[in-house]
Amino acid sequence: MSKSIAESVLFSPLRVGALSLPNRMVMAPMTRGRNAADGTPSELLIPYYSSRADAGLLITEATAISTTARGWLGAPGIHAPSHVEGWRRVTDSVHRAGGRIFCQLWHMGRVSHPDFLDGALPVAPSAIAAKGSSHTPKGKQDYVIPRALSVAEIGAIVGEYAQATKLAREAGFDGIELHGANGYLIDQFLRDGSNQRSDAYGGTPAKRARFLLEVVDAVSAAWEKERIGVRISPTGNYNDMRDSDPQATFTHVARELAPRGLAYLHVTEALPGSPMHVPLPPVTPAIRSAYPGTLIVNGGYDAKTAAAAIERKQAELVAFGVPFLANPDLVKRFQRGATLNAPDFATLYTPGAKGYTDYPTLG
């Protein structure tokens, strides 16, 4: 084992909000589609998450906050008693293995489909369809033009986030992460490519950030702020997203979140050379300047680049997606400089254990 790798800052402990983490490695949220049609977590999630419990922090796959928030085959929920019971088995197993786990709260907004919503239109800040398609219970379908939310409906959804937070606490999670990235509802409000409202929730960066901040304040009232995280993707174009000035938009978000005392801000912005890299000026450095709290970065890091980011004070934690997907013992592999398992992309969303809980560990 290389001494320099074993003693890397990546494996140093850190206090984050209400938790003490043994290392700086976070398992990023990854939708895998292994759950029941009603959103009840599958038993397969127990070995999947518990086998990765030596990560500093686990963040679950995106989890729907209500029946109208869903829109992905096999995705879990956190809005019914069976969801709480299913997730409790997962969190108990993670805690028995010595881990810590946050639930990522999700509303799909315009990139849901009527096939998931009993024929109703999906909702969004504005009636603007995303380009692309969805895999629904009835097959692959183009996205539809969503229905613009009324102010009263926005308030009701804020309440759904708060209720989902209470249920996550009941299910034994250590905290929650608000999914404000990747073109889902919160992100749809933040960016002007999808939000063209002319009321208090649209126009300037401050108005477009209002929905996110109302959700943050509501979930912080439902559970202490030190157990709340937020994820954003300033330059990501997934789900047909764009913004005319991402630096202005997301530095405003960072400045507004800074005094709220949250556990962390999680920024996903792919590094050059990563498959998800977008050829736009990076916004993460400006966010770092505006946000003095704990920052997680994500986007194609390996052990070396992650340690360098932490050493240079660009972030306190680094989240890894695909490496954790294929390597349940990623922490040990990084510590030992071991070869990583290659992911089987053909089984990312297929039912069953193959490509999910059958990746080999060292030895």
Q: Following DSSP, what letter does each residue of 45-94 receive, concatenated? A: HHHHHHTTTTSSEEEPSPEESSGGG--STT--BSSSHHHHHHHHHHHHHH
What is the H or E stretch that residue 156 is in? helix 151-170
User: For residue 211, what is the enclosing H or E element?
Assistant: helix 210-222
State yes or no: is 161 an active-site residue.
no
Residue 57 pairs in a beta bridge with 26
* Separation CA 356–CA 350 (nearest Å): 9
Tell me, what DSSP letter sits at residue 202? S
Tokens of 87: 């997730």
- Token readout for 123 is 């909702």
d(CA 130, CA 124): 11
Catalytic member of 48, 49, 161, 184: 184
CA distances for 281 relative to 135, 209, 216, 245, angstroms: 32, 21, 27, 11
Q: Which two tokens stand for residue 324?
A: 């954790």
Q: Which residues are catalytic?
A: 184
